[in-house]
Each structure stands twice: as C-alpha cells, then as structure tokens.
Chain A
C-alpha cells in the first residue's frame, strides 16, 4: 500500500501541514518572500529572487509537505525521491513574460533567465535542485482531475519500485498543495491514511482551493 506521510499547502490566506495540525495565517503580500526569509527551508534557497511564481509556490508547498513528513533533506546528499506536479495554466504566464520581452527587444535578443521557466516542468526542477530530489521528475495535466492523475502516477511509480518516495501536487493561482508518498513500512509514520484515500478525498474538490479545504477539515476532525 502507498501511504501519505505528509501534506503541505499554501494559499493567499494561510499555510499549513496536515499531520502536524498546523494552520498559520498569512500576512504575505503575495510574493511569498517571507517563506524564503523566515526559516521554512533548511538552508537558503539559492537564486530564489529569480524564480517565477509557479516555482515559488512549488518550493513552498514541497517544503511544507517534507516538514509535515518529518523528512530532512540536503542538496548535497540527494535522495531517490521523485516529484510530479500539475497546474491549470502550465507555463503560460512565463511564456508570455519571455516572449513579450523578446518582442519588445525587437526580436533580436531573448533572455535565457526567462526562457528557462517556459517549460511546465521548470518549477519542479527548481524544487529538485534545492531539496536534492534525484527521483523521477514529471509535469502532467489531465482533461479532468489533474491532481488525482498526478497522485495516481506517483502511486504507480512507488508500486513499481521506480523511487523510494514521491512528492505529488498542484499549483494554481496563489495556491499550492503537495503530498509526500511512501510505500507502507518504508519507515515513515502513517498519519494521513492511504494515497488512494487521499486521491478520493481530492476528487471531492472542484478547485485546488476546495481540495485544500478537504485536508484542512480532516485535521480539525470535521470529516
């Protein structure tokens, strides 16, 4: 069985960790800067100033999920942990930023530091570098229920022995939600049930915000 070892989320109003029962209101200005200043990460996030919004949200969501799972990490001592992410808009915002800038420069010079975020998998790459995630890395999107598809693919990878653990989650607008998944008996305490249950619960939400509320309710014992 594949289990959920940790869940982390961030919205415009708060951030939290499901197993630890943490919900903290946010006075963030929307830039997420305080997460990069105030010790959420085990060590400074290199070049965080250049990250696009999807990368920032992904980094915060992953950091919260790993903290919830009680997993320590290091960019130097990499682990066979994979990451699968999804989002409604992919890299559209970064695509526009890059290409408008290129067009405004007379179509002669494009900026490499904008180009690198024009892949929907780039946000996952930034997370992999910071957290030392050496497992599979994949962006996916489905016609319906992309988060469930990401969770299902992560479960499948663990069942087939493709990674030691997986992170799977979604980013949309100002919200991010990430799950840390492991095989049962892999040494992580199972405090949040099975991945299948999480997937079913996630299916009850129409938006990522709805899904996040599903897991906020769980820790308050409302479900």
Chain B
C-alpha cells in the first residue's frame, strides 16, 4: 500500500483573541496582546495576575471551561466533520475545574474530571461515532496528537482523523506554575532579553486530517499537509529543558527525515517560545544546531495569547499553515529587545515569506517532551 499524505482539510480555533483563525491572525499582526488580568479567581498570592482568557466563559458554574470552549468551537463546524472520523483529543488537564469544585465545595465527583469522559463529550459535540483516544504529552499534547493523526493516515490505519485540543486557565494550573516560579509578572515576552517566564492561556482548536485519496474524493479544500513529524524526550529533568538542546535537535531531525525535507526547505519556525529563560534558550540552541548560524525567521504566538498548554501545538500548527498561505511571518507580540542569541531570527513586526512552502512547528513540555511538526502548503497552480 502506498503511504498516504495527511492533509488538513478543515480547522478552527477559539483563543483569547476570539473565535476563528482570522481573529488570531489579525490579533498577532496588530501587535496587540490578548493577555489581561485574571478575574475568575484571586491571584493575590501568585507571581503574576494576568492570563490569556477567552471572553464569556463561566467558571465553577455549569459546564467546565474546556467543555464550554469545545461547545462553542463545534457549533461553528457547519457539517465539515464526517461522523466516521476517529477522534484524538489532546489536553493536559481537561475538565480539572470539576475536581477543583469537588475539593473546594464537595459538590462533584472528582472522577468526573477524567480525560476519557471529556473525550466522549467531545465526540458527542462533534457528532462522531468512530474510535476515540485521548493523547497527553504535557504542553506538547496537541502537536503530538496531530503527529499521531498524520501517522494514522500515513500508515493506512485511518483515512480521516479529527484532532481536537483544549485547556482552560484554572486556579489548579495557575497556582502550580506560580509555585514553579515560571510566570512572568509582566506577561510573556518570548525571546526577549528581559523575559521572565510564561503566561498561562486557554484555547480550544480542531483540525480535520484526511488522506489525500479521501480528500480528493470528497472534494475537500486543502489547507496544507502535515508533512513530517518527530518526537523525542530529553530524558533529563521533569520540568526544565535540556541545556544542550539535544532532545529538540533529535525531534527536528526526525521531522525533517519524516517529511523528506532538507533544512533549506523550511521558510519559518513557529517556536514553542514560552517566554521562560530556559525554554527559549534551549530552542535557539536547537535551531542553530540544525539550521546553522544563518538566521531563519522564527516567531511565537504566546506573547499574544499566553501558553495554551494542551491546545498550544494545534493553535500553532493552524497558524503556521496560515502563515504559509499568507506568505507572511507573523510578529512575536510583546517582543521589545531580542535576546542576543535570537537577534536576527525573531522580530516584533511581520515579514514577507518568499518562495517557501514549509514551516516547522516546535513544542516542548514537562518530562522533557519535544515535538517537531513540518507543515507544507499545497503547490499553487
């Protein structure tokens, strides 16, 4: 059997910029951050008081944050998702606000916060009847799930996979990152010389990934291809990235090999770019090790929307496809003065992307997990 190309035929997102990929794209290009003060719980005891929150969500009242976001997202699909698609749900903490309520008020069964239960609810919202899996790889969950979806298509295991991803800004997560001293009191400033940490954000997104045969048969519009992927682990530290960058280097090399691509084919990099001192330095080390000293345009969306954790990879893959379609490298919002190792690579303004059809998306997470995904635009004409 011939290996099938894995094509993205539909995608959507809900982020702190609003509903849709357009809202995120316009927000990034405006240079305006969607990070603002947290109002849903007290941040008085924490290192920061800001987050990237989606407007109009209720907290500890009715449905979980994740389910509200997914419900809003899937109300916009307009029949784009076939009922027989397999579902891969990517998340780190899913409906953890249910457990929060159980502990704080005793009103819920904490087991209701289980990831499998959210996956079933997601399948019901999307109207799916096929295989349902939850994938969790810390803050690389969504890119890992997208890679697995593409692998399922490439290997012939499935011809249509829906990747859904979500995580909410909860007190549970916020307090945890604060205890790790990982939050920037001024809002995330990826690759900036003065960066001090990340900002927690929330989002939900989906991408429908289909074999080329089925996409053609159904006359689907093609947003791009998940051309290659690589996963690795630093095997070094539970919360800190490897200072040698070797894990991410391995993941990027695997992704290039998987895509049958040379480094020269990559037009820009959507970096994980959390804004923590160590993550951004680790990524720059990996980019220089793989691509050499000649700067390649990189950007991070996290100065705009914060770190959306289990949803981050998918938001960023969809945005990278948009960057290729628009032939534009978006700016890194909140960047004031690039760190010395990122000078010439990262910019606070948008740049044209000329003559390139591929982008690299990198993500990393606790336990030293690294993912690298290469997306390719379809040839024009």
Let me know if A189 is at the binding interface, CB within 8 A.
no
List, in ascending order, chain B residues with CB within 8 A of A131's CB: 235
Let me know if A36 is at the binding interface, CB within 8 A.
no
Give the interface centre of A103, A109, A137 by most chain B CB atoms within 10 Å.
A137
Give the interface centre of A89, A100, A119 by most chain B CB atoms within 10 Å.
A119
Q: Is the CB of B136 within 8 A of A120?
A: yes
Q: A134-B247, A136-B231 given as contacts; is B113 within 8 A of A124 (CB)? A: no
User: Pick the contact of B235 from A75, A92, A107 — CB < 8 Å?
Assistant: A75
Let me know if A132 is at the binding interface, CB within 8 A.
yes
Q: A107-B171, A118-B176, A142-B132 given as contacts; is B258 within 8 A of A160 (CB)? A: yes
Q: CA–CA, A80 to B247, complex, Å?
A: 10
Q: CA–CA, A103 to B99, complex, Å?
A: 12
List, in ascending order, chain B residues with CB within 8 A of A100's CB: 103
Q: CA–CA, A69 to B133, complex, Å?
A: 29
Let me know if B369 is at the binding interface, CB within 8 A.
yes
Q: Tell me how many residues of A have a C-beta within 8 Å of chain B.
A: 55
Which residues of B140-171 are within 8 A (CB) of A? 144, 148, 151-152, 154-155, 157, 171
Q: Is the CB of B367 within 8 A of A122?
A: yes
Chain A, residues 126-157, CB within 8 Å of chain B (1/0): the string is 10110111111111111100000100110011
B-side interface size class: 35 or more
User: Pick the contact of A116 from B114, B155, B239, B257 — CB < 8 Å?
Assistant: B239
Q: Is the CB of B366 within 8 A of A138?
A: no
Let me know if A216 is at the binding interface, CB within 8 A.
no
CB distance from A120 to the nearest CB of B (A): 5
Q: A122-B366, A160-B154 given as contacts; is B137 within 8 A of A139 (CB)? A: yes
Q: CA–CA, A125 to B232, complex, Å?
A: 11
Q: Is the CB of B366 within 8 A of A119?
A: yes
Closest 9 CB pairs of A and B: A125-B367, A136-B231, A115-B176, A108-B45, A110-B175, A112-B179, A137-B233, A110-B179, A139-B136
**A92-B99, A99-B172 given; 7 more Cβ-contact pairs under 8 Å:** A118-B93, A126-B238, A129-B238, A134-B233, A134-B235, A136-B233, A138-B136
* Interface of B toward A, CB cutoff 8 Å: 42, 44-45, 92-93, 96, 99-100, 103-104, 110-111, 113-116, 119-120, 131-138, 144, 148, 151-152, 154-155, 157, 171-172, 175-176, 178-180, 230-239, 246-247, 250, 254, 257-258, 365-369
